[in-house]
Amino acid sequence: MFTDSYLAGFFDGEGCVYIGKRGKNFRVGVRVHNMGLRPLQAFKERFGGYVCTCTSGVHMWELVGLTRLPEFIKIMGPLLVVKKEQLAVLEEYVDMGAVRRGGRMTSSFRADRVRLMMECSALKGSAGRLN
């Protein structure tokens, strides 16, 4: 019922690409908040992730982590307009891979992640402008 093109347009308008950091840990993903549950369930069926209802009654679909994001990026990337650049930054982050459990993150690896986090954040301010 919901095509990939429809989901891409929905994501362009309502979605969020994020690269965040809490303490030493980075968190990456995509999410959509909306009052309508059906489109969010379509995202879950197509890409995985989870749907929950916030205390405000707004529903949220979220897809997190380096293993699930590549399929979303591959399918949605070519279809996006507004969030295309943000998704490209997320793809670069995902392509870096993960630090193995017990492994130490080198300072250059951490610096690259921080750079991508800042780049993604900066693009959010320009997302509404089509050049």
* pLDDT tens per residue across span 33-64: 999 999 999 999 999 999 999 989 999 999 99
Among 29, 17, 117, which Cα is nearest to 68's?
29
Q: In this structure, which topology does domain 4-124 adopt according to CATH?
A: Endonuclease I-creI (3.10.28)
* pLDDT tens per residue across span 63-87: 998 889 999 999 999 999 999 999 9
Distance CA 44, CA 48 (A): 4
pLDDT of residue 65: 86
